[in-house]
Amino acid sequence: MSRVALRSFIQAAGGGARPLWWGRFWKNPLAVWGLGIVGTLAIVALLAEWLVPYDPQAIDTWHILEPPSADHWLGTDVLGRDCLSRLIFGARISLLVGLVAVGLATAIGTGLGAAAGFYGGWLDVFIMRLVDVMLCFPTIFLIMAVIAFLEPSIWNIMAVIGLTGWMGVARLVRAEFLTLREREFVMAARISGASNARIVFSHILPNAAAPILVAATLGVGGAILTESALSFLGIGVQPPDPSWGNMLTEGKDNLAIAWWLSVFPGLAILFTVLGYNLLGEGLRDALDPRIRSG
Amino acid sequence: MPTPPSLFQRLSVLAQAFQSVMSYLTRRLAALVPTFFGITVISFMVMHLAPGEPMSLQADFNPKMTPEMRERLRAQYGLDQPLYVQYWQWLKGLAVLDLGRSFAPDRRPVWEKIRERLPVTLLINALSIGLILLVAIPLGVAAAVRHNSLFDQAATVTVFVFYAAPAFWVALLLMLFFGVHLGWLPISGLQSLVGFETMPWWSKMADRALHLVLPVGVSALGGLAGMSRYTRASMLEVLRQDYITTARAKGLPERAVVYRHALRNALLPLITILGLSLPGLIGGSVIFESLFAIPGIGQLMWSSVMARDYPVLMGNLVIVSVLTLLGNLLADIGYALADPRIRTGQQGE
């Protein structure tokens, strides 16, 4: 993206009309809560090494399955590892998977949606048919089928979640392109001899930035949920790396004797997803008052 | 006063409605063909373009495997043929529900494995759809009618929280509370392991029902949040319309306005939403079936992933997505029957 394009992208996302959407965003308490949760989590994930009271992998056979106490705020697991430390490092993995997977899905969805909406014709028919087909697969079945043949590494998980989650963005971007390409400013750009690439990247795409940003933010929550479900099923992030999902697997195995193993990782997922959803809804309400959910 | 329509007039209106619904459905059915084709292509590609051949697990771990034997095995499964030939063979099999044989030691036909597990999954999904509709629609309507009231806000917050909660975690907590702590509900299987055979039939029914409470409840949770949210939004949209104001101005009681005039129109888009939420519901089966040890299609999927049993994987994938496709078709039929614009052949699209 050129510098001009980048500037207009920022403007479209609200830079130009800062007082308006910025004010609307901060007036919405739920949106601010969402931003607070997301921001706190980002800091926790970045500073994990300095925040943890214990080494998350350190096995301590003298303190196995201890309930929450002053020494171990969230208790210890079957190997005597500190649950709080594992939870903090788990934040890093969950956020990384969520953000990278959504980044990939957004890139694919934007590319295909833009191509379909801009060129139309058989390309549009083909891409939209592909979207219909992909939407017929229960995502988790598709992901599992692919994962069965891959090493269950964190990078593969991100790639697979991203590759199976782009359809919503593609539909959205296509719809935006269909309306935007008929607008006067696109006509004007075309008449003044702008190339297709220039029209797409510096005229249409920046104007579609707001809904893409909203969809991506809402998508992060979904991706984190998917990752945790896969890790819970034992086909996502593999132990000993701590992920909130595989920590819950341990919780399930010790359900009757160690409630803390089941409760806290789930709460962490809940708050993270809630944070991204609130932030996404808040951004939507602030950026596009037309589709306010009321 | 206009004269009441004659029997003939009524019949011709009915016939016309039937005709328009049929023409709508024919177009929808025609659109299914390429989608079905796409499903088969993607299912096939997922398995065959994945790194590592489907055979490699069997071959790599067998120390006695010689290159010749490997070739023979490949030929036996048709893996030495070009991809399009393999695809065509597989598609021909699919047409008669011959999905090959499982790689598992029992070597049973894949379709047989799927068929015996499908009813449980479908039953649980049907029950949870029923539960979703039963709870979500009244909840959404109540929230919309009392827009911005304390009730509405409480419902909104609750829905947001449930929407963000991982279903398997909620399931764990419910198991912990109702199963372990209170001991009220069974947390695994479809029936009691001990003594089920000797129970009288009514106890058998009760036993089965008790075993279904948690799985159905859990699988409904996610959809519940979404559905009540959509009902609320749809109701709010309709309640803003002019004809609702007209109905109120005529002096109709609020109950009649809400339930007879508004709800009917507000429910229309929900049929489509329900169709779209099917993949998510069926996908959820993987999680709650493995959690509650229910022998359904989700558990089959999970165990075949673990065993890299690729004929079962591929069969599962294609069957489940075709089911979703059929579910969407049912939603379309429901929509066509419910929407007077389609019934009278005046749809806009």
Could you read off the pLDDT of B320-347 as tens digits, one per residue?
998 888 888 888 888 877 777 776 665 4
How confident is the model over A38-48, as pLDDT tens digits? 999 999 999 88
The single-letter code of the amino acid at B79 is: L
Coil/strand/helix, residue A217: helix
- Examine the predicted complex and report whether its ipTM is higher than 0.95: no
Q: How far is C-alpha B345 from the chain's CA centre?
A: 29
Q: Tell me: the pLDDT tens digits for A228-273?
A: 999 998 888 888 888 899 899 888 888 778 888 888 999 999 999 9
- A-contacting residues of B 143-162, CB under 8 Å? 147, 160-161
Report pLDDT digits (tens) over B158-213. 888 888 888 888 888 888 888 877 877 777 777 776 777 777 777 777 888 888 88
Cβ atoms < 10 Å from Cβ of B176? 19
A133 CA: distance to closest CA in chain B (Å)? 5
- Does B324 contact A137 at a Cβ distance shorter than 8 Å? yes
**Residue A122: pLDDT band with limits 50, 70, 90:** very high
Identify the residue among A129, A144, A228, A264 best suited for mutation to test binding to B, counting B beta carbons within 10 A and taking the highest. Answer: A144
Q: From the candidates A127, A130, A133, A153, which should be mutated to test the interface with B, based on the most B CB atoms within 10 A?
A: A133
Residue of A nearest to B168 (CA): A229
**pLDDT > 50? residue B64:** yes
Predicted pLDDT of residue B54: 56
Q: Which of residues 214-253 of B touch A (CB under 8 A)?
A: 233, 236
Residues of chain B positioned with their CB less than 8 A from the CB of A271: 164
Alpha helix (H) residue ranges in chain B: 7-49, 56-60, 67-76, 83-95, 110-145, 150-164, 167-174, 201-239, 242-249, 254-255, 263-291, 297-306, 310-338, 340-343
User: Using one digit for the tens of pLDDT, what is the confidence trace for B141-154?
Assistant: 999 988 888 888 88
pLDDT tens for B85-112 read 888 888 888 888 888 888 777 778 889 8
What confidence score (pLDDT) does residue A216 get? 93
Residue A232 contacts B, CB cutoff 8 Å: yes
For residue A38, give both structure tokens.
């997301």
Q: What is the mean pLDDT of residues A141-169?
A: 88
Decide if A262 and B279 are in contact by the 8 Å CB cutoff. no
Question: Scanning every residue of chain B, which has its alpha carbon at the shortest distance from the alpha carbon of A256?
Answer: B180
Using DSSP's 3-state secondary structure scheme, residue A110 falls into helix
- Report the alpha-carbon angle A88-A222-A214, nearest 5: 105
Neighbour-count burial of B281, counting CB atoms closer than 10 A to its CB (0-12 exposed, 13-18 middle, 19+ buried): buried
CA distance B297 to chain A (A): 10
B window 35-64, beta carbon within 8 A of A: 35, 38-39, 42-43, 46-47, 50-52, 54
Tens of pLDDT, residue by residue over A63-82, are: 777 788 877 778 888 787 88
Question: Which residue, among B47, B125, B172, B230, would best test binding to A if mutated, counting the most A CBs under 10 Å from its CB?
Answer: B172
Per-residue pLDDT, A126: 93
